[in-house]
Structure 1
Amino acid sequence: MAPPPVPAQGLDVWFVGTRSALFGLALKTGFWTVLTLGFYRFWMKTRLRRWYWSSIRPGGHPMEYVGDPLEKLLGFFIAVVILTFYIGIVNLVLMFVSFSVFNSSWVGYFASFLGIIPLWFYASYRARRYVLGRTRWRGVRFGLEPGAWGFALRALMHWAITIVSLGILWPRMTFSLEKYRTDRTYFGSAKLHQGGRWPMLYRAAIPFAVALAGILILALWVFWVDPLLRGDADTFGDVIKNIDKAIGGEELLFSWTDPWRLLFLVPLLPVLLYGAFHYRFSAKRIMANHKSSDGIRFASKLSAPRVTLIYSLGNFIAYMILLLGVGLIIGVAFALLGPETMVQAQLGQESPFGDLPKWMSFAIIAALYLAVFLLWNVLLNAFVTYPLMRHMAQTTSLSDVAGLIAVSQRARDEFAEAEGFAEALDLGAAI
């Protein structure tokens, strides 16, 4: 079947999914995931992705996700076997060297943690390659060239440079890693290109830099220029002793000098958090506006304040429900198994839960626990993932589409382990 005709002008992106439909789908698939002790998770992710992808419609034509949940499950098992062997052997060698050379275990634990970091980057690249390889638009497949280990090595190098530069070269790392991935991305036969230069991302970091500078100035003020603590307190141990003396009513080792200055942290910390969101998504918008292919160009109007509001409000709703649910679980647990029931039983008083067998009490608590976390996951989808994907879709467009007419199909990418490494390292939970 021939693809739809290419329009003469650019393409806007529509988003047609509704929150109520997503809520029902997330609730149903989450219920089956809980009921199967997590095995249905691969089918849940597949169904949710198909729903999201079909809701995103560039030029009115829906995206397609054709991933197979069975290949996700098999890939997960393959990755777990490989990681178990790798981590087991590496940890054994590291712990042997740590005890033999340093006569301590902490060196081995630290080296083991560092050994996982390259796998983390490797898995993230593989997960992106799998998702693109199972995504189609207008019948044409997307794709990403192999290069996971190259990405992992570059990520390690750029992180080292960023740490040595005290974060000043963070935009360089962001741009370089995104360029590595974008320049290896295909839509059919069309190869994408990330244009621009990394210094253009510095303007996205302005809110974060301003908040960080404010915190550093405050720290210099209260710890160096005009110390917050005056007296004979030189160490953290002295601070603890001073607290003990204050509780006991004894003479203090030191006194506080204008502690009200710490209130400046109240506005600075939210601004710092907003600055992190602003940098992340403003950088995405800037780089999206410099992505192109032959005769194809992207345009983005992504709003960092809107994304921050989505994250803040959505997570507040989800976590408030989670806290209320945990409180309910604790209350029910005390009612079923707590000291009040035991005291009432000793006094011979009747308790509405006194006659319940222990196994039923534990079953009720376990069911409540699973129900609360199921609802929490559904709310995250409905109030965080859904509005975020809708906003990102509606603010993205193709300003130049003349090159679409020359795009031809590409071969299907085969994956032995699918997203297995990302799932095993807990990188594949997100849509």
Structure 2
Amino acid sequence: MFWLAIKTGFWTILTLGFYRFWMKTRLRRWYWSAIRPGGHAMEYTGDPWEKLLGFFIAVVILTFYIGLVNLVLMFVSFSVFQSASLGYMASFLGVIPLWFFAQYRARRYVLARTRWRGVRFGLEPGAWGYAWRAMIHWLVTICSLGILWPRMTFWLEKYKTDRTVFGSARLVQEGRWWMLYRAARPFIAGVGLLVLWAAWVLWFRPVIPLAGDGLSDLFTNIGAVVDFRFIPGDWDRPARLFLVLPIAVLLIYGAVHYRFVSKRILANHKVADGVRLSSELNGLRVSVIYAVGTTIAYTILFFGVVALVLLALGLLGPDAFLEAQIGTADPLGALPRWLSVGLLGFAYLSVFLLWSVLHQVFVTFPLMRHMAITLALVNVAGLAQVSQRARDEFAEAEGFAEALDLGAAI
């Protein structure tokens, strides 16, 4: 995986990003072939050329749509409200449905190009239905201050699962949405501790004792912190502020735990023609993979950026930036300017290529391996009745997800 990611990433840099469609295709083929339910390897049949063509189609459509919509919104905003802020906000909100539309279309493409034992997977059309449902669920979740997040997770997953097929077999998402609260327990605990900590250091015994008791004084203390209207010598046991660090760690762990343990709970309630899924995914194991993998990747990225800055300073000199402003800089001595800029640009891209490869090796790969190892099929007799389905043709493949930088699967 390391050398494949390095090689394909290198070609992506040399081709200014065009090779990424081939890179994604080769990585998916590697991952799919490494997953072998019952000893039969999965197959990925996607074509990089259809990805490239789909990307161009999506860019043309999005350019026309976003440009036209923005023009109308800005005209109305200036004409009616004499302000551009409302136009910008409406323009942002107008793109949100396209995000959900692109996510569903990308999933449909990936399933349509996936086979097991020669039988194709598929996802029925329904991208716009998913988009407006997602917007409504997000609105309800925001209005509930996140309390109904499991409800949104369940119903959006059910919409996609109930339209997923394996040959002639249709998947069904069973269960109830409140069962996902079990996965949210660590995050709920973190939020509760954060509220208690904030009430302690801002209200009951303020770290910055600027006022007495009362709700209005709470906002006074918060405003003092924001505006830096306090004297450090007047702080009351400021060490209590550091308690937010373990609480933040618990919140991050809770978010990762919910994301993957909810997948386990949902997987255990999926069924297709009598065949059931059984997942034993371990939330703690996934969190360790995330913690170790991201630490390795971002540590290398940090030192790479530092080395890049030192390289630039060493080649250009500590006064190069000031000299560049007055027109007396001499980059890299006798080297041509285009060559010096090219070397630094190549080094910059190489640092981020290495970060991407390490994230692929230490995060994506172990996560997919753990999820595959802990997933099993129960009562597989129903697989004998599954027949082939027609190939799902696509005009734009994952073009909208690529154009909106959402990605898909890998």
Scaled by the length of structure 2, the TM-score of the pair is 0.92
1:356-394: per-residue Cα shift (whole Å, max 9, x none)? 232222121111111111111111111111101110000
Q: Is the 8 A contact 1:337 1:361 kept in 2?
A: no
Q: CA deviation at 1:231?
A: 2.8
Q: Is the 8 A contact 1:184 1:192 kept in 2?
A: yes
| CA pair 237-215 structure 1, distance change in 2 beyond 3 A | closer
Q: Which residue is equivalent to 1:109? A: 88
| CA pair 238-143 structure 1, distance change in 2 beyond 3 A | closer
Say what the alpha-carbon RMSD is for the aligned residues: 2.1
1:289-325: per-residue Cα shift (whole Å, max 9, x none)? 0100112111000111111111111111111111111
Q: Which residue is equivalent to 1:338? A: 317
Q: Is the 8 A contact 1:296 1:402 kept in 2?
A: yes
Q: Is the 8 A contact 1:195 1:290 kept in 2?
A: yes
From 267, 270, 280, give the equivalent of 1:301. 280
Q: Which residue is equivalent to 2:406? A: 427
Give the letter for the 1:129 counterpart.
R
Q: Which residue is equivalent to 2:42? A: 63
Looking at structure 1, the residues matched to 55 and 44 of structure 2 have their Cα atoms a distance apart, in angstroms, of: 19
Q: Which residue is equivalent to 2:325? A: none
Q: Which residue is equivalent to 1:87? A: 66
2:142 pairs with 1:142:
no
Q: CA deviation at 1:239?
A: 5.9
| CA pair 58-363 structure 1, distance change in 2 beyond 3 A | same
Q: Which residue is equivalent to 2:303? A: 324
Q: Is the 8 A contact 2:202 2:222 kept in 1?
A: no
| CA pair 193-218 structure 1, distance change in 2 beyond 3 A | same
Matched ranges for 1:155-166 at <5 A? 155-166=134-145
Q: Which residue is equivalent to 1:29? A: 8
From 4, 13, 28, give the equivalent of 1:49. 28
Q: CA deviation at 1:414?
A: 0.8
Q: CA deviation at 1:257?
A: 2.6
Local SS of the residue matching 2:244: helix
Q: Is the 8 A contact 1:341 1:354 kept in 2?
A: no
Looking at structure 2, the residues matched to 387 and 165 of structure 1 have their Cα atoms a distance apart, in angstroms, of: 35
Local SS of the residue matching 1:141: strand
Looking at structure 1, the residues matched to 153 and 251 of structure 2 have their Cα atoms a distance apart, in angstroms, of: 19
Looking at structure 2, the residues matched to 290 and 239 of structure 1 have their Cα atoms a distance apart, in angstroms, of: 47
Q: CA deviation at 1:342?
A: 9.7
Q: Is the 8 A contact 1:144 1:186 kept in 2?
A: yes
Q: Which residue is equivalent to 1:205? A: 184
2:27 pairs with 1:40:
no
From 117, 131, 142, give the equivalent of 1:152. 131
Runs in 1 of length 4+ with deviation above 6 angstroms? 232-235
| CA pair 99-334 structure 1, distance change in 2 beyond 3 A | same
Give the letter for the 2:131 counterpart.
A
Q: Which residue is equivalent to 2:214? A: none
Q: Which moved more, 1:36-45 or 1:371-380?
A: 371-380
Q: Which residue is equivalent to 2:370? A: 391
1:157-206: per-residue Cα shift (whole Å, max 9, x none)? 11111111111111111000000000000000000000111111111111
| CA pair 356-257 structure 1, distance change in 2 beyond 3 A | same
Q: Which residue is equivalent to 2:335? A: 356
1:233-285: per-residue Cα shift (whole Å, max 9, x none)? 66847864636xx5xxxxx9x93233222122121110010001111111000
Q: CA deviation at 1:24?
A: 1.0
Long gaps (5+) in structure 2:
212-219, 323-329
2:195 pairs with 1:216:
yes
Long gaps (5+) in structure 1:
1-21, 247-251, 344-350
2:221 pairs with 1:242:
no
Q: Is the 8 A contact 1:231 1:255 kept in 2?
A: no
Q: Which moved more, 1:361-370 or 1:44-53?
A: 361-370
| Higher RCO by CA contacts (8 Å cutoff, separation 6 or greater) | 1
Q: Which residue is equivalent to 1:126? A: 105
Identity, in percent, stands at 65
Looking at structure 2, the residues matched to 268 and 241 of structure 1 have their Cα atoms a distance apart, in angstroms, of: 24
Q: Which residue is equivalent to 2:78? A: 99
Looking at structure 2, the residues matched to 64 and 256 of structure 1 have their Cα atoms a distance apart, in angstroms, of: 62
Q: Which residue is equivalent to 1:194? A: 173
Give the letter for the 1:290 counterpart.
H
Local SS of the residue matching 1:37: coil
How many pairs align?
396
Q: Is the 8 A contact 2:316 2:331 kept in 1?
A: no
Q: CA deviation at 1:341?
A: 7.1
Looking at structure 2, the residues matched to 384 and 336 of structure 1 have their Cα atoms a distance apart, in angstroms, of: 35
Local SS of the residue matching 1:339: coil
Give the letter for the 1:106 counterpart.
S
